[in-house]
Structure 1
């Protein structure tokens, strides 16, 4: 049964993970020993922009993201062009945490190529790695779908932004939130309190506009307060080396990070991840 699921999962990811020609060149050059110094920018894919250009990009991407919250490319541009101060704060927090500092030093990536899917599938139910894999399978998502950073004018800050994107699905798993709009808003509330990224705050404020009255009541009475409270008080979630925590139970990891178990909500359909 797992073999069939694994093959379907891989076929799905292969379709979704077709890289652009530039990204393919970057991967090939790295595999042949070339470094980022081969590029004119600060890192592969970097696009240098002035403050005025960043402002225009932020306005344009913000309008597009408001019209369609599932325009992940526009949400990504908005985050990169408005998140400089928040990224600096996150970098300082990571540097002051031994595990966070190890992440900044080793620069791990959460990609299909770095995940041992067979090993994760063999882990017991309730372990963080098994629950993360189940989340990916149940919601038809892949970590390789995350947009590469382009507009952050610092190589280290660009990595932090990329790390934030790659742990987003881990946050869904850790918080026990589905990928419907209610779950996405709850995660954005948590991330806004955790990271201070304006993009997250905007999603937390405007996302409820797309919820019906029943889900709004659930958000305002239980999910929202829970997400904000735990986002403020928990340890920096970017300072956790999740790749070394797959075998840890999700309950133990929550306790370690000072995150309360999520309130019970209806896991509705509409499984799309922002």
Structure 2
């Protein structure tokens, strides 16, 4: 478990200056995307793409949040989010119709846990240098809210749903890798399944919807969980996607299962792991 109690976190430097400054390397990103298309189970390729197309503003965004009064309060209240999200017994005691219940429904239906994502990331990062600073909380938080975004936006874990979540996330955390993978994945779907499904429009819509929503990783999740999910969406300015569902409807009309579109698991889900590198 990667949790660091806040009392210890406060004694750590805000940012370890030994962290490398990543360079933007589009050619490297494209090579890894081609490898990902050959074998969609090779999730380490997603990590390499995010490494090649970093969000250069993440340091400044994280430090602004971590030094704000509100940020310090959220870190103190929620030092390790997976422990909160995986306590389904406690979440189920919250009101019916709440975000907590919707989150439990989604995770149980999909056979997922928040800690599972942490453990997968640990495998990715096992040979990477370890840095001990408060910024690590911010990086991990980007990973830990990923499945919550699915719940709030209504995007599924199919390939198009993941591409749309990537585009949505780009507008909150503008790593070029979000759009790079999201749009290239969409183009590959259009190439693989010839139809009039509005695939590219769905991804573009996800990007637009994300602009209206404040960064989820900077919200108090424990405050949002007991609230009715529709109220949470109103608070965060999340409106329903249209083109994503229209694409699903068109694929089903021509006999294509949107959840088995490319014959394997979705190719983009593990971007959440890469963001925390």
Deviations 1:192-244 (A, max 9, x none): 12110122122222111332344x733334x3343122212221222111133
| Structure 2 match to 1:171 | 149
What TM-score, normalized by structure 1, do the two folds share? 0.68
| Structure 2 match to 1:17 | none
- Displacement of 1:169 after TM fit? 0.4
Structure with higher RCO (Cα < 8 A, 6+ apart): 2
By percentage of residues, which structure has more helix? 1
| Structure 1 match to 2:259 | 269
- Displacement of 1:151 after TM fit? 5.6
| Structure 2 match to 1:252 | 231
1:99-118 matched pairs, under 5 angstroms: 99-104=70-75, 108-112=79-83, 115-118=86-89
Aligned counterpart in structure 2 of residue 155 of structure 1, from 133, 138, 142: 133
Deviations 1:57-87 (A, max 9, x none): 8687555445445433332344356425131
| Structure 1 match to 2:101 | 130
CA contact (8 A) 1:61 1:75 kept: yes
| Structure 2 match to 1:192 | 170
CA contact (8 A) 2:55 2:176 kept: no
Q: Compared with structure 1, are the counterparts of its residues 158 and 138 closer, same or farther at alpha carbon in structure 2 (3 Å cutoff)?
A: same
1:183 aligns with 2:152: no
- Displacement of 1:105 after TM fit? 5.1
| Structure 1 match to 2:186 | 208
Task: State the distance in 2 between where 1:233 and 1:156 align.
Answer: 28
What TM-score, normalized by structure 2, do the two folds share? 0.68
Q: Compared with structure 1, are the counterparts of its residues 162 and 235 closer, same or farther at alpha carbon in structure 2 (3 Å cutoff)?
A: same
Q: Compared with structure 1, are the counterparts of its residues 57 and 230 closer, same or farther at alpha carbon in structure 2 (3 Å cutoff)?
A: same
Deviations 1:145-201 (A, max 9, x none): 221454686734433222111111000001011100010011011011211012212
Q: Compared with structure 1, are the counterparts of its residues 178 and 84 closer, same or farther at alpha carbon in structure 2 (3 Å cutoff)?
A: closer
SS at match of 2:79: coil
Task: State the distance in 2 between where 1:235 and 1:51 align.
Answer: 25
CA contact (8 A) 1:81 1:151 kept: no
Task: State the distance in 2 between where 1:98 and 1:68 align.
Answer: 45
| Structure 1 match to 2:274 | none
CA contact (8 A) 1:193 1:232 kept: yes
Bigger shift: 190-199 or 142-151? 142-151
**Structure 1: which 5+ runs fail to align?**
1-22
1:83 aligns with 2:54: yes
| Structure 2 match to 1:217 | 197
- Tell me how large the CA RMSD over aligned residues is: 4.1
Corresponding pairs, count = 239
SS at match of 1:269: helix
Q: Compared with structure 1, are the counterparts of its residues 200 and 89 closer, same or farther at alpha carbon in structure 2 (3 Å cutoff)?
A: farther
Deviations 1:247-266 (A, max 9, x none): 11111111111111233714
1:73 aligns with 2:44: yes
